[in-house]
Amino acid sequence: MTVRAVIQGCGHYLPKRVVDNSEFERTLDTSDDWISSRSGIKRRHFSNEDETTSVMATLAAKEALADANLQADDIDAIILATSTSDLTFPSAATMVQANLGIVKGFAYDVQAVCAGFVFALANANALIISGQAKKILVIGSETFSKLMDWEDRSTCVLFGDGAGAVILSAENGKGDKYDRGILASDLNSDGRLKDILYVDGGVSTQSTGYLRMHGKEVYRHAIEKLATTAQNSMKSAGISVEEIDWIVPHQANIRIIHGTAKKMGITSDRVLTTVQDHGNTSAASIPLALSVSKINGHIKKNDLIVTEAIGGGLAWGCLLYTSDAADE
């Protein structure tokens, strides 16, 4: 008997304010066509002062709990992937814990930028298969609009805010590739590449800072690293490309998304994209895409999914898993 971590429910929250590409034409030398042709993005959501990372995470978590038909007290742990926690400390995860009225277990943040949700899921999977928790709330929530330099058209048009959440539950399996739940994971980082995607502020500078990115360098590394980590996960689980139902990638850039799928030998009709409506929401992008795709009826029960992401660090990774047990 093998313990597997199975996705039991999902939910999301998007800020009320929707910003179309045309809004940037008023202040920047840019256009809807320039933005959409290079990134695939048509619009994004920006948070207001009350829609903090922990608040959005809480609202997404409540949706996931309802979707799984669970109560907050059923949760043993909360892992929140974010680079934009409300405060330097305590963790936003503990704020979510308090907001949900949970007074047991533990909560902590994971910071791997755009790869954060993949790292958080891998953390949760390890906790479940080691017996330290049975039900874990895994959230990605970001307010990247707070990190934007509004005069830098190469970055400020790409990012958005939002939150997504899933619940992982322990379930017994046979230990083969036909089990439900997370079948394999692959995590990587290379700190030598930190200067191609970073924020130029933090505790050492006593300022929040702005996001800085060398887009061409990120693109150059992204497709190769994403395809390789996905192939590593599939090899580990004994899964072939033909068996994959969907890729649910980090929603950063449509060219990276389609370029990675092509390198993996997967056609674009098996790739789920929400980047056009959300922009790059960093660690929130994958759970947002999962939740929206479930609501839209794309993802069905027991679909086999590859999820991969790359972010600042550089950090990148992949998980291979079957879809939400609650999907019908």
Under DSSP, the state recorded for 98 is H
Scan for tokens 């400020």, then name that residue: 156
Averaged over 129-140, what is the pLDDT? 98
Of the residues 114, 125, 232, 318, only one is catalytic, namely: 114
Q: Tell me which of 21, 125, 253, 280 is the catalytic residue.
A: 280
Q: Assess whether the region 2-173 and the region 182-322 belong to the same CATH fold.
A: yes
User: What is 195-264 written as a DSSP string?
Assistant: GGEEES-BGGGTB---EEE-HHHHHHHHHHHHHHHHHHHHHHHT--GGG--EE----S-HHHHHHHHHHH
* Candidate CATH numbers 2.100.10.30, 3.40.47.10, 3.30.300.30, 3.40.50.300; the one for domain 2-173: 3.40.47.10
Tokens describing residue 130? 């080691």
pLDDT tens column, 142-180: 999 999 999 999 999 999 999 999 999 999 999 999 999
Catalytic residue among 10, 125, 156, 250: 250
Active site residue 253: no
Contact 77, 64 (CB under 8 A): no
pTM: 0.97
Q: Which residues contact 30 (CB under 8 A, 6 or more apart)?
A: 21, 24, 153, 157
Which tens digit of pLDDT belongs to each residue from 222-252? 999 999 999 999 999 999 999 999 999 999 9
If 0-12 CB within 10 Å is exposed, 13-18 middle and 19+ buried, where does residue 263 land? middle
pLDDT > 70 in the chain, percent: 98
Active site residue 114: yes
Kindly tell me if the per-residue pLDDT of 50 is higher than 60: yes
The pLDDT value given to residue 324? 65
Closest CA to 12 of 293, 303, 226, 315: 293
pLDDT at position 328 over 90: no
| Domain extents in the chain | 2-173, 182-322
Determine whether 280 is an active site residue.
yes
For 182-322, the fitting CATH number among 3.40.50.450, 3.40.50.1820, 3.40.47.10, 3.40.50.300 is: 3.40.47.10
